[in-house]
């Protein structure tokens, strides 16, 4: 379990009726913050930009293969192509 999940569980075990706003205030008052969407996008962009074109292509090819398998499995499960 991640650190923030552990903190979340601990807080709500001790304060079961607390609102999300109270939890956020508590985090802030204890010097803890949750990641914003912008933080996550910045992290992702930095990671993506650190990859070589070959690594990006490998990721794309892997996702494309998974997508094709998923489509084939869905068609088979639904009885298409019989």
59 and 42 both lie in a single domain:
yes
29 and 60 both lie in a single domain:
no
**Residue 16: half-sphere exposure toward Cβ, Cα within 13 Å:** 1
Is pTM beyond 0.75? Reply is no
**Residue at 82 is within a domain:** no
43 and 19 both lie in a single domain:
no
pLDDT band at 22; cut points 50, 70, 90: very high
pLDDT digits (tens, 9 = 90+) for 30-71: 988 777 889 889 999 999 999 999 999 999 999 998 888 888
53 and 71 both lie in a single domain:
yes
Domain of residue 66, residue span: 37-77
26 and 42 both lie in a single domain:
no
State how far Cα 11 lies from the chain centre: 22
> What's the pLDDT score for residue 71?
80
Q: What is the number of domains present in the chain? A: 2
23 and 45 both lie in a single domain:
no
> What's the pLDDT score for residue 82?
55
Token pair recorded at residue 3: 């650190």
Taking the C-alpha atoms of residue 14 and residue 77, their distance in angstroms, rounded to an integer, is 47
49 and 27 both lie in a single domain:
no
């Amino acid at each position: 379990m991640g650190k923030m999940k552990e903190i979340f569980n601990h807080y709500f075990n001790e304060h079961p009726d607390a609102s999300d706003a109270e939890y956020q205030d508590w985090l802030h008052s204890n010097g803890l913050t949750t990641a914003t969407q912008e933080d996550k996008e910045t992290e992702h962009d930095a990671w993506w930009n650190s990859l070589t074109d070959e690594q990006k292509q490998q990721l794309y090819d892997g996702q494309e293969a998974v997508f094709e398998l998923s489509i084939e499995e869905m068609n088979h499960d639904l009885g298409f192509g019989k």
